[in-house]
């Protein structure tokens, strides 16, 4: 009975269609290029680069570069470089662990937030210190126990 109920629940969630516009672009390890006369919806790219010459909604790039010569709404680059060219118009720009390069004629209509690469290393450092602390604590509690054997002297 439990297996049947699990199957029904999984079938229900699998049958729900994911909503995406026809002009959204999502890619994994393949570069995305939006031409000058193209209009894309939202663009998401994992381990690849985006060349934006047209217009789009939000653009998110993980571990890749975004070259902006067109117009977009919000831009997030994680672990890469956001380069805004002479014809580029960006509303909001967030770069985590990378660089933001804007040409003199580029237009930023909103906020620009840049976190240097050290912010990517801080969580790794904190996690490593937590593991070291747990190992140290376990060694203190259980590692230094010595078996004591008492020998009774004969008279």
Q: What pLDDT, in 10s, does the model give residues 64-115? A: 999 999 888 899 999 899 999 988 889 899 999 889 998 888 888 988 999 8
Helix (H) or strand (E) segment spanning residue 71: strand 71-78
Do 76 and 60 form a contact (C-beta atoms < 8 A)?
yes
Q: Does the pLDDT value for residue 34 go beyond 50?
A: yes
Tell me if the pTM is above 0.85: no
Q: Name the phi and psi angles at 16, rounded to 5.
A: -75, 120
| pLDDT of res. 14 | 45
Q: Name the phi and psi angles at 48, rounded to 5.
A: -155, 175
The residue among 132 and 146 whose pLDDT is bigger is: 132
HSE-up of 57 (CA within 13 Å, CB side)?
12
Cα 12 off chain centre by = 29
**What is the percentage of the chain residues whose pLDDT exceeds 70?**
81
SS3 12: helix
The residue among 155 and 27 whose pLDDT is bigger is: 27
């Amino acid at each position: 009975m439990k297996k049947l109920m699990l199957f029904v629940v999984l079938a229900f969630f699998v049958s729900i269609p994911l909503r995406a516009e026809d002009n959204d672009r999502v890619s994994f390890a393949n570069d995305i290029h939006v031409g000058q006369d193209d209009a894309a919806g939202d663009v998401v790219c994992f381990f690849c680069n985006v060349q934006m010459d047209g217009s789009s909604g939000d653009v998110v790039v993980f571990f890749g570069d975004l070259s902006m010569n067109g117009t977009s709404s919000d831009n997030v680059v994680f672990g890469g470089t956001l380069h805004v060219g002479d014809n580029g118009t960006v509303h909001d720009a967030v770069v985590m662990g990378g660089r933001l390069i804007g040409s003199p004629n580029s237009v930023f209509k909103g906020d620009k937030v840049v976190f240097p690469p050290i912010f990517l290393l801080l969580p790794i450092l904190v996690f490593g210190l937590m593991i070291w602390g747990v190992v140290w604590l376990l060694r203190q509690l259980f590692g230094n126990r010595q078996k004591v054997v008492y020998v009774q002297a004969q008279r």
